[in-house]
Chains A and B, each alone.
Chain A
């Protein structure tokens, strides 16, 4: 304890011993000072930790809510398909191609690559089959240089991969006796940097360095194409030492929303659709699981209480093209059992039905396009069939069927015919033919459970209503399955983890996640596992860093927090009218204020994200001098990206909310990738979309909208420009940029 001879007189306003200002600080004083500093610093760190955690919560909630949102898109496509199979009347369009898997998966269309020639001007990597190490090296360096592989090679690669995968069983069995160690990686989600970092740290795939990649190679990240090409290339090069498990994002419908489809279409304007078709086939052919030394099971998501490895091994996995599309056994469109927003379930009735019809006259009241973000706790409390409680509603398109859900009879409406299945379809009921025989249904559920489930601390097995597919499985389920098959460990991915990995179920379940900075720069590390003969996992962590100067913990938290809060504010903005309506119920006198409690209640009831609203309040809204919340202040610093076309307010909001979905739809409709669609197509699509969402928009409003955005008045719409108007921007961003230029006080 340092005591100098000359001391600066100090005054402690807070502590009682102010009168004891001595020349040299006494031991008591130094102790007091130390305590103050220690406490103060610890409080700061604890606050940082709280911020980090709720930031994480925000990201996760929005992500899962988004997953539910997206399934909405899939149901919309189904709807579109069934109502208007050909939008332009000229034959099947991309939508049908994309959503209607060709019956014969071995259809030889993929040899079309032979007709594609490579122009002289092509400067990208050239590869030849069968692949050799020089080809994979060429790919690696090319991708590092941001080059794009020519469509012909992509198609050829996919064709070869498909051939190879066809020969593989559903469950791959590996042994550590031939190799030193196996490396197991989790979700990559199109992060090429992470993959390259893993290869750099751990070595390229080879006979000495075998790898297992546990699914979710694509979507979200910007380099999904490159990632998956590399993985497939190594698979072709070392089929015995490179192993890929299917993830829930190896699914063409998920790809529509989460970016892979878009990325392919952008990078491959001419051949994108064929490439996507092949990817669809290849994805469905990926093995479902890997087992090491008959002791360690590796799957992407998890298990359920009905997981049966024998059955999994025997089914035809390629038939489950997408977890979001119930398997069909005929050419007819069979809708997925859409879970009703309020959780209504219908019991399937018996007997078959030949023709199909849609009845849309059962609109339930107060139904709109809200998604229900279910909190995990709530889902634990309620069963899958709980209906009225708002917490039980699930996504609109979940990998579930009517019969998968625990049956509960509901009063059927008077006009329900007996021989059809009444399936809730958003806010209406549709009659569809009976689903496929129980066998197919069972098989489909087995796969979906493997790809979508998450572990939980509570015992038992419950439907994963948060995600809308698969189950939550407890430690007892894990124990049972491991015991049943004489396994000792389950390795899975599917969930982003702060440290890149996490253990649960008493060490029997490991989650491994390999996309660092998944939510935001600095949000999390990535990790991989190395497993040797003794089967003791070792974890290796890393984090890709874009900035040249490494950020401190505080800065990282701040960056991630800022990003999360912006996403949250956008959510608020996109639900503005609902929120305002709810606020006004508490604010009858139109003072513009409600209490903090009321504010928090409204937010949770509308957004359903299960977030700590009171803690977040300072970042989202202003307080009046009397401590009440000025609820409109949330909407002040976000606004549209470009001058809005003349649009009715609720239409505008819908557009904000579904901007991404609309973009996807437009991209698909725009076959020649001109960026333009015809007014007729626009009207058509929009009408469908709004009918599907239950937004009450009459035709004249749509026509007006179409007219107003036909900027060139030539009958076509530049939808990029149109969508730009509905991108939410944060006004503060512009202010920040300005003031930064002027040089503010600096933070280290």
Chain B
């Protein structure tokens, strides 16, 4: 019962077998997540909802192009069965605090514990899964750099990680 690659599954199209891949409890959880994202309760989620749903379920290694491709391959609007078919396994949990801290430290070569705002912007908006400028702004609004333009990333990581913990318990 190893989960297949999402793309391959999408190519096969939605089929009822997908429900046998998962345990009932898992399906129920997916269903809830799907329902939360399906804002107008019409049983379908659109592209934007899709991305958020992915992200919430931990499936973040899906690029926008991939999503677009999947949407093209989907037989129609994304209903729950299609959704389940396309996105197999669910990854639970978040990365440990240590991991993220280390990721930031890669850029903090001098080990100062802070990073320049502009540098962070550059780092996150110009490579990999690029942040949009809105996302960047959002982060800086929630975690404002000091007057000198330094972002205390340790604080940021700590708050998000522990905030999440607190909220998840």
Please list the residues of chain A having a beta carbon within 8 angstroms of any beta carbon in chain B. Answer: 1-8, 10-14, 24-25, 29-47, 49-51, 53-54, 57, 375-377, 457-458, 552-554, 558, 561, 596-597, 600, 612-615, 618, 747-748
Contacts and interface: CB of A to CB of B under 8 A. Distances in A.
B61 A39 contact: yes
B129 A38 contact: yes
A748 B159 contact: yes
A378 to B, nearest CB: 10
Interface in B117-141: 119, 123-124, 126-131, 135, 138-139, 141
A53 B48 CA distance: 14
Contacts of A596: 25
Contact of A10 (B43, B105, B135, B142): B105
Secondary structure of the A contact surface, majority rule: helix
Given A36-B95, A49-B52, A43 B28 contact: no
B104 A33 contact: yes
B33 interface: yes
A482 B9 CA distance: 45
Q: Interface centre among B53, B94, B167, B168, by most A CB within 10 Å?
A: B167
Interface of B: 24-25, 28-29, 32-33, 35-37, 39-43, 52-56, 58, 60-61, 94-96, 98-100, 102-111, 119, 123-124, 126-131, 135, 138-139, 141-143, 155, 159-160, 163-164, 167-169
Given A43-B58, A46-B56, A553-B138, A8 B36 contact: no
A597 B26 CA distance: 10
A42 to B, nearest CB: 5
B37 A600 contact: no
29 contacts: A2-B107, A2-B123, A4-B110, A11-B102, A12-B103, A13-B99, A14-B99, A24-B109, A25-B106, A29-B106, A30-B127, A31-B128, A33-B102, A34-B127, A37-B124, A38-B124, A38-B128, A38-B131, A40-B94, A40-B95, A41-B131, A41-B135, A43-B60, A43-B94, A49-B56, A554-B163, A614-B28, A614-B32, A747-B163
Contacts of A33: 102-104, 106-107
Secondary structure of the B contact surface, majority rule: helix
Contacts of A50: 33, 36-37, 52, 56
Nearest to B30: A614
Given A35-B129, A612-B35, A747-B163, A14 B95 contact: yes
Nearest to A49: B52
Q: Interface centre among B55, B108, B164, by most A CB within 10 Å?
A: B55
B33 A554 contact: no
B139 A41 contact: yes
A748 B61 CA distance: 30
Contacts of A25: 106-107, 109
Given A33-B103, A43-B94, A600-B28, A457 B109 contact: no
A43 B127 contact: no
A597 B24 CA distance: 9
A258 to B, nearest CB: 25
The 8 closest A-B pairs by CB, nearest first: A4-B109, A46-B55, A33-B106, A612-B32, A39-B60, A33-B103, A46-B56, A35-B128
A667 B63 CA distance: 61
B28 A597 contact: yes
A425 to B, nearest CB: 32
B160 A44 contact: yes
Given A40-B100, A46-B52, A7 B41 contact: no
Contact of A42 (B35, B60, B110): B60
B128 A8 contact: no
Nearest to B123: A34
A14 B28 CA distance: 29
Nearest to A41: B139
Contacts, number: 157
Contact of A51 (B40, B105, B128, B167): B167
Given A4-B110, A46-B55, A561-B167, 7 more contacts: A34-B127, A375-B41, A376-B41, A552-B142, A553-B138, A597-B28, A613-B32
Contact of B124 (A7, A34, A558): A34
B142 A30 contact: no
A444 to B, nearest CB: 30
B60 A30 contact: no
Contacts of A40: 94-95, 100, 103, 160
A595 to B, nearest CB: 8
B152 to A, nearest CB: 10
B58 A30 contact: no
B138 A1 contact: no
B127 A53 contact: no
A41 B161 CA distance: 10
A457 B40 CA distance: 7
A36 B41 contact: no
Contact of A7 (B109, B127, B159): B109
B164 A47 contact: yes
Contact of A30 (B42, B61, B123): B123
Q: Interface centre among B54, B96, B129, by most A CB within 10 Å?
A: B129
A404 B123 CA distance: 63
A8 B111 contact: yes
Nearest to B107: A2
Given A45-B55, A377-B43, A8 B109 contact: yes
B150 to A, nearest CB: 14
Contacts of B39: 53
A93 to B, nearest CB: 44
Q: Interface centre among A2, A13, A35, A458, by most B CB within 10 Å?
A: A2
A11 B124 CA distance: 21
A8 B99 contact: no
Contacts of A748: 143, 155, 159
B97 to A, nearest CB: 10
Q: Interface centre among A3, A34, A614, by most B CB within 10 Å?
A: A34
A32 B24 CA distance: 35
A377 B56 contact: no
Contact of A8 (B95, B105, B164): B105
A597 B23 CA distance: 12
A123 B142 CA distance: 46
A36 B94 contact: no
Contact of B42 (A457, A614, A615): A457
A40 B60 CA distance: 9
A558 B142 CA distance: 13
A457 B77 CA distance: 15
B77 to A, nearest CB: 12
Contacts of B159: 747-748
Contacts of A47: 56, 164
A587 B50 CA distance: 38
Contacts of A11: 102
A1 B102 CA distance: 16
B36 A45 contact: no
Contacts of A561: 167
B164 A37 contact: no
A42 B119 CA distance: 19
A377 B55 CA distance: 26
A11 to B, nearest CB: 7
